[in-house]
Amino acid sequence: MKFRKEEAIVLLEQLVQIPSPSGFTEQAMTFVERFLEANKITYTKLRKGAIVATIAGESEEKQRMLTAHLDTLGAIVKELKPNGRLKIDLIGGFAYQSIEGEYVTIHKSDGSIATGTVVVHQSSVHVYKEARTIERNQQTMEVRVDEQVHTIDDLRQLGLDVGDFISFSPRFERTSSGFIKSRHLDDKASVSLLLTLLKEVKTEQVTLPYTTHFLFSNNEEIGYGGNAGIPDNVVEYVAVDMGAIGDGQQSDEYTASICVKDSSGPYHYGLRNHFVQLCQNHQIPYKLDIYPYYGSDASAAIRSGHDIVHGLIGPGIEGSHSMERTHERSLEATYHLLHAYVTSNMYK
């Protein structure tokens, strides 16, 4: 079994280029639909917009589900400002300083776009004494629109209004040393891995021991992507999402990360140990870790009352919810763990 690395990375680059802040994900979901159709993979679309692809297995009585999310961080127009700029409200949990200077696209209600840059109002160090020290927050940050606009009326004439979605430029780059830098690796890196896995299982006619569903959710960043669409026979539910890297963390950019606990509490002990055993049996590099300020679609499913065994694995992502980075080795390790998992018996 070989990881189709180039295919996965091409998919990843295509995915991060598609604007999909939570609430504005239709184009990204359509991309997934077209991919599934091209590879003759059966799927259904949920009312909230999520997609569930299904591969029939030997057992229908007990089933599995894996999930990754296509929605990303972003923003929305909060207010048209008298100076001809836009006040924004955040979509997803990130810090304002992480988007200062970012190029953005403003998606107008008529389907057209405008462009701009996120700046602090007191941006010029030659004019504002406090430019370096002022707190970056909703009151001080704004979008500078790339048009000749000076008033609220100018903005309205341009077709801009409260409620227009704002997406951030991904700035995707792949280095000769194997690093992949981009916004929205959370969680489009995992989506690319699941799509690559689905294609391999389908084209290579891999027989899975259990019918397995692949949920591509579109509301994870706002907390409820995993609440619905879980068939009654699903026993094991695995979120495939980024491993958080930082001080005190074991996760890195070169291994598969297995989450022990996040802000929702511990993940299922037996399933976690099953992941570890698979890594050891297949010589897959891995790290166990706790993500202290984190929640996943698996924890959302548990909170919503589903009687399932839940787990969380994924590639290690440096700079989560900022300018993110991972390495090809982490994608490869995570892919091999996913393949080993879907072709293995359940943890018991």
Q: Which residues are catalytic?
A: 220
Type of residue found at 322 = S
Element (H, E) at 328: helix 328-342
C-beta separation of 143 from 73 below 8 A = no
Handedness of CA 145, 147, 151, 157 (dihedral sign): negative
| Alpha-carbon gap, residue 185 to 92, rounded angstroms | 14
Q: Round to whole Å and give the CA distance between 229 and 231.
A: 6
Q: Find the farthest-apart pair of alpha carbons in the chain and give their distance in angstroms, rounded.
A: 69
Q: Are 308 and 230 in contact (CB under 8 A)?
A: yes
Q: What is the DSSP string of 46-92?
A: -TTS-EEEEE--SEEEEEEEEEEE--B-EEEEEEE-TTS-EEEEEES
Strands (E), the chain: 43-45, 51-55, 59-69, 74-80, 86-91, 103-107, 113-120, 141-145, 165-168, 173-174, 179-182, 210-217, 234-240, 243-244, 256-262, 265-266, 286-290, 309-317, 324-327
Which of 252, 228, 242, 330 lies closest to 293 in space, CA to CA?
A: 242
DSSP conformation letters of 128-143: -TTTTTS--STTTEEE
Q: How far apart are CA 77 and CA 88, in angstroms?
A: 5
Cα distance between residue 213 and residue 321, in whole Å = 27
Closest CA relative to residue 322, chosen from 187, 183, 138 = 183
Alpha-carbon gap, residue 346 to 343, rounded angstroms: 9
